[in-house]
Amino acid sequence: MKLSAPVSPTSALIYGGTFLLSILSFVTTYTGMAILLHPALAAAGALGLQSSMLGLAWNILRVRNHRRAYVGAFSVAALFSVFFSYAAFNIALKQTTRSQEVREQYSAQVIPVLRQYGDIAKSALHSADYQVKRIDAIVEAEKTRGWATIVDEGSGDPVVQGIIDGARNTVASWRRLAGADYTQGPGHGMIANYLESWQDEARKRQSALEKYVHVTDSLNTLLSTGIPVEQQYQMVNSARLAFPQAEFAAVTAASAPRLPDPPLTAGYTETPLNGQQAFAMVLSDLYPMDLLTLFALLLAFAVDFIVVILALAAGRTSSDADLAFEIAEKDAQRRLQKVKLDNPAEYQNVLNQNIARLKAANEYSYQFGQALSDSKRARTRIKMIRTEDPQGQKMPKTGSRLSRLFRRETEEQEVESAV
C-alpha cells in the first residue's frame, strides 16, 4: 500500500521529526558498524536498517494480514540498530575513561603479586637481621671471653648454628693437628678470624635484602599512580627477575622460592588496536555493567525508541486517512466477486449498469443541489416582498382581506418564476 501524503501540519511535523531523528540513528548505527566493517559496507548496512525500521513502523498499523511477520522483522532491525548505536556511544564515552579504568584494574591484580615478592624478601630480611646481630655477639664474646663461652644457638637458626658448629670443627681440627687443646684466650686468633668472615657475609646478605625490599615498596607506590599497563608489567617482571635468590637461600638455608609470575596484559587493553579488540571491549562491558555502559545503552535505546514512536504515529495518521479508501475498495471487490465472470457479456452488462447508475447519481446530486440553491434564493425574495409591494410602496396591513389576497397572489407568482 502506498504511503499517503500528510493531511495536516501536525502530520508533516511528525514525518519531519521522524526523518531527522532517523538521520541521527543512522549516524550512530554507522559509527558502530564501522568498528568491524569497511566504511562503505557500514554505510550500506546502517541505511538498510534505518530504511527497514521506518518502512515497517510506518506500515505496521496499516496492514491487516501477516502483522506478526512485520513485528518480527521490525524487532530484529531495531535490535541491531540499538546494539550498534550502543557500540558507538560506548566507544565515544569511554575514550578518556577506559584507559584509567584498565590501569586501575591491572594495578589491582599486579600490586598483590609485587607485595608477595616484598613479603618473601622481608621474611628473609628478618632472619638476616637476627643473624647479623647474633654473629656480632659471638665475635664479641670470642674477643673478650674466649671460645669456651660460646654456646649452641637457642633460637634454632640453622645458619647461626652452622657457624658455631664450623668453629667447633675448627677447634677439633686444631686439637688433632697440635695434639693439645685450643687455649687461645681473649683477642684475635683463628676462631675470631673465622667468625669475622661470616660476619661480613651476613651483612652483605642483609644489605641485598634491604635494597630489594626498598625497591618493592617504591614500586608499590608507583603502581598506584595509574601508569600504563605495559609499563606496570615490565616493572613487576623486572622485580621478579631481580629477586635475590642466592641471598634468600643463604639466609634461610632453604631452596630459592618460586615467585608467581605477574598477570599478563592480554586482557587489559587500554586502546583498541583493531576492530576485533574494540568489538570485544564493547561486548565485555555489558557484563559486569558500569554506569557509563548503562548510560550508553539507554541513550542508544532512547534514540531508536523515539524514532519508532514517531514512525508509528506517522503510520497511524496515514492509516486513518486511507481507511475510507480501503473500505470502499473492499466493498467494490466484494461486489465484483458476486458477478459471474464466466460470461464476459454479462460482466460487461453489469459494469455498464453500474457506470450508468453512477452517472445518474451524480446528475441527480447536481440537480438536487441546484434546486436547493434556487429554493433558498426564492425564500429570501419572498421575505423581502412581505414588507414592500413590487412598486416599492408599503403593503396594506396584514389584517385586511385585501392585503392577504394581494400577498398570496404575489407569493405564487414569485414561486412560479423561481421554479
Structure confidence by residue, pLDDT tens digits, 71-117: 888 889 889 999 999 999 999 988 878 888 889 989 999 999 999 99
- pLDDT-based confidence at residue 263 (cuts at 50, 70, 90): very high
Q: What is the pTM of this model?
A: 0.55
As a dihedral over the C-alpha atoms of residue 378, residue 384, residue 386, residue 389, rounded to 10 degrees, the angle is: -110
Is pLDDT of 23 > 60? Answer: yes
Whole-number Cα distances in Å, 1 to 12, 59, 60, 315: 19, 8, 11, 12
pLDDT of residue 359: 74
- pLDDT-based confidence at residue 311 (cuts at 50, 70, 90): confident
pLDDT of residue 170: 79
Measured distance CA(171)–CA(167) in Å, rounded: 6
pLDDT in tens, 174-223: 777 776 666 555 555 677 788 888 999 999 999 999 999 999 999 988 88
Mean pLDDT lowest among 110-119, 129-138, 255-264, 384-393: 384-393
Provide, for the chain, the percentages of residues in helix, strand and coil under a 3-state DSSP scheme, each rounded to the nearest 5: 75, 0, 25
Which contacts qualify for 93-98: CB closer than 8 Å, 24 or more apart?
A: 93/292, 93/295, 93/296, 94/285, 94/292, 94/293, 97/292, 98/270, 98/271, 98/281
Measured distance CA(185)–CA(305) in Å, rounded: 99
Mean pLDDT, residues 309-315 taken together: 72
Q: Backbone phi, then psi, for 26, in 5-degree steps?
A: -65, -45
